[in-house]
Structures are given as C-alpha cells and as structure tokens.
C-alpha cells in the first residue's frame, strides 16, 4: 500500500462527492485520473481494506436497531454464531471476552422486525438475548483518521 492508497482510505471516509463523477473529483484532489482512482479502489476492496463505499446511517433515524448479547456455552459458539449470522438483519456478530460472549447488532426497517429476529434467535438457540437498544448516542462515527 503506497501513500496514495493511504490517502484514498483516510481522506475520503466522509464528504465523498455526491456529484455525477465522484471518482474523477477524488482524482483531481490526488493528481490521479479517474480510471486510476477506480482501479485503486477496486484493488483495495479486493484486498479487504475497503468494505464498501457508501452511506453510514445514523441509528434510529432510518429504521430500528439494537445491540444484543448472548451467553453461549463455549462449545456451542460456532453453531450459535452461524445461526445468528444467518439473519440478513444481523450486520455485526462478534465474539468478545466476557461471560456474555457473543455480541450482535440487529437492524431492520422497523422495530417489529428487530423484535421478531431476537425472538426467533431465542427460540432456535434456547438462549435469551440481552436486548440493549440505543438510548442516546454521544458519538457514533467510525470515520476516524487512520494515519497521523
């Protein structure tokens, strides 16, 4: 990864052009032509450094979401993680070091569907998810600087 790749990752996490040719606009800032910007972004995506280019929605404005946790017996972690991750509505699903060892985020167009997903997970796993909906966000933005 060279300095231009780093700048592509670091400087375009926000204020990405809502213009007809956003990759040409980025190129103008970096001294690259449009095709080279597209090539680099494609390569960085293929390498796993970029997950996607697009919007990050503010929680509870567009739909509904919650953070949930399960205390999974360690020998069932793989199995239960697969059940949880099988839902399109589950967008994050992490193992963490704690008695509550599986943490996942459920997002859906409405709260009814979020509740249904939690109920279905409870039914199919026999484990009751702890439901921790957002009450107040002080700062929800992962677009921080990667390099100083």
Partner 1 sequence: MELNETDRRLIGALRRGLPLVEHPYAALGAELGLDEGAVIARLQRFMERGLISRFGVVVDHAALGFDGNAMVVWDIPDADVEGVGRMFAGLSWVSLCYRRPRRLPHWRYNLFTMIHARQRAFVEDRVGVMTVLADSVVQASAILHTTRRFKQTAACYGTAPAAAGEA
Does residue 83 touch partner 1 according to CB under 8 A?
no
Instruction: Give the CA radius of gyration of the chain.
Output: 19
Does residue 55 touch partner 1 according to CB under 8 A?
yes
Positions in 59-78 near partner 1 (CB under 8 A): 61-63, 65, 67, 69
CB of 76 to partner 1, least distance (A): 13
Confirm if 50 and 44 have CB atoms less than 8 A apart.
yes
Work out the number of other CB atoms within 10 angstroms of the CB of residue 129. Answer: 23
Does residue 126 touch partner 1 according to CB under 8 A?
no
Confirm if 27 and 34 have CB atoms less than 8 A apart.
yes
Contact map string, positions 17 to 36, toward partner 1, x by CB under 8 A: -xxxxxxx---------x--
Does residue 2 touch partner 1 according to CB under 8 A?
no
Confirm if 27 and 37 have CB atoms less than 8 A apart.
yes
Query: Out of 2, 31, 51, 75, which residue is the one contacting partner 1 (CB under 8 A)?
Result: 51
3-state secondary structure of 7: helix
Does residue 118 touch partner 1 according to CB under 8 A?
no
């Amino acid at each position: 990864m060279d300095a231009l790749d780093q700048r592509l990752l670091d400087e375009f996490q926000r204020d990405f052009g809502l213009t007809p040719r956003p990759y040409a606009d980025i190129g103008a800032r970096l001294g690259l032509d449009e095709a080279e910007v597209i090539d680099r972004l494609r390569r960085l995506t293929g390498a796993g450094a970029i997950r996607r280019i697009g919007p990050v929605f503010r929680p509870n404005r567009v739909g509904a979401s919650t953070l949930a946790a399960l205390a999974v017996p360690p020998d069932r972690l793989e199995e239960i993680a697969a059940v949880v991750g099988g839902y399109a509505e589950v967008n994050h699903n992490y193992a963490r070091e704690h008695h509550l060892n599986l943490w996942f985020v459920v997002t859906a167009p409405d709260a009814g569907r979020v509740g249904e997903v939690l109920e279905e997970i409870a039914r199919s796993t026999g484990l009751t998810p702890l439901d921790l909906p957002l009450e107040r966000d002080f700062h929800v933005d992962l677009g921080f600087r990667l390099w100083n």
